[in-house]
Structure 1
């Protein structure tokens, strides 16, 4: 789940038209257009330029969107700078702040700093607990922390909120294998394989490997799951 383009409605009224102004005045418009087209590395600096012209909440939202775009572009260090600046302000509140904190946790995850990832998730819980990805990602971090009971609890919360999500079902199957529960793993992988995205394809592959391996030689788990980009609230997001 990638963070929504927080500045879209407040900074980019011009994005409703195909043409954007030149210079910093059109930065927000260009940022939204680039983000919508999946050109994340192009969108991120445009959001930063928009933030340089804005104040208060508009500035913080633009920086959060820049951080989100840097993260989507595979630039976690740049994402961390923008997100830390956004979170240092007071303009992000409620779910917006929670989503920015999740993105900051995702940056830490990519950098293998699981302590920071957990700390940012703990901050986000008060405002982002209604987001299924919050719990899915919390489970992914817990797996890396070696806290499998916490991972199973978080995965269960994610499934309660979004029971047919292939990514969460694959994660549930992986967790079942960590307990050597092959029947439960098959059930979860089969449910995930009913979809059509990359996680459904992953589920089909894992199911085939599981069915082909004798019970005695099957691995305890197929490996630690990474934290994929969440379903997009913005193009293509998350």
Structure 2
């Protein structure tokens, strides 16, 4: 998935190795600080710096909306979906996000809503995103997981099918496919996809989780 954050990072023109950020407080400086914080695994600080970049940018300019979208993405990473929703709503209210950038921001808004247990908004935003970034397998991965929460097995299977078409060997997609079919009551299909996920990335956290899911399938049923 190409995150909205990528569009903002491009404006910062980071060097390798990265140079120190300027001392003058400007939008470029705030973005530089955000990128550094993100690289250090500090998403909340990165979000704060992106919001400062937005505040220092022209009110109706695309830089403001992109910085707000990046802030929303970082707030999601920081497990603060309420702040993410606020930032993303402000970004989406403007005209600075176009094409794929807008689609990714809509998907992030759906993710924030799902984390807040607002499944109605999550579905609305996910469907809006699908009209723009329908070739993004993560969109359909998310849509499938959301459909499980909605109790809609048919929609979950349709969505994970789209994800599998776009990323047939992705371990995370295969792992979610196992969840979808287990939810739908098809244990054989669940086993197949979890087995494939474990084989695709045997040493990754996803591969480990797939093996644990398979072990649970094979565990003897608890006595009633």
TM-score (norm 2): 0.90
TM-score (norm 1): 0.85
Counterpart-to-counterpart distance in 1, 2:147 and 2:20? 45
How far is 1:43 from its partner?
0.6
1:51 equivalent to 2:54? Answer yes
The 10-residue stretch of structure 1 (159-168 or 94-103) with the greater mean CA deviation from structure 2: 159-168
Counterpart-to-counterpart distance in 1, 2:108 and 2:175? 22
Q: Name 2:154's counterpart in structure 1.
A: 149
Q: Name 1:27's counterpart in structure 2.
A: 30
How far is 1:39 from its partner?
1.2
- Asked whether the 8 Å contact 1:132–1:161 carries over to 2, the reply is yes
Counterpart-to-counterpart distance in 2, 1:188 and 1:179? 13
Ranges of 4+ aligned residues in structure 1 off by more than 6 Å: none
Q: Name 2:209's counterpart in structure 1.
A: 202
1:89 equivalent to 2:90? Answer no
After superposition, give the CA deviation of every residue in 1:43-87 in whole Å (9 maximum; x if it has no partner).
Answer: 111111111121211110001001100110111111111101100
Counterpart-to-counterpart distance in 2, 1:204 and 1:24? 49
Match of 1:130, SS state, is: coil
How far is 1:91 from its partner?
0.5
- Asked whether the 8 Å contact 2:145–2:156 carries over to 1, the reply is yes
- Asked whether the 8 Å contact 2:68–2:90 carries over to 1, the reply is yes
The 10-residue stretch of structure 1 (145-154 or 196-205) with the greater mean CA deviation from structure 2: 196-205
Counterpart-to-counterpart distance in 2, 1:179 and 1:27? 47
How far is 1:23 from its partner?
4.7
1:3 equivalent to 2:3? Answer yes
How far is 1:2 from its partner?
7.9
Aligned CA RMSD, in angstroms, stands at 1.8
How far is 1:180 from its partner?
3.1
Change (3 A) 1:132 1:142: same
Change (3 A) 1:30 1:58: same
- Asked whether the 8 Å contact 2:106–2:126 carries over to 1, the reply is yes
Counterpart-to-counterpart distance in 1, 2:105 and 2:180? 27
Number of residue pairs matched by the alignment: 214
Unaligned runs of 5+ in 1: 218-238
- Asked whether the 8 Å contact 2:153–2:184 carries over to 1, the reply is no
Q: 2:66 aligns with which of 27, 48, 61?
A: 61
Counterpart-to-counterpart distance in 2, 1:199 and 1:24? 41
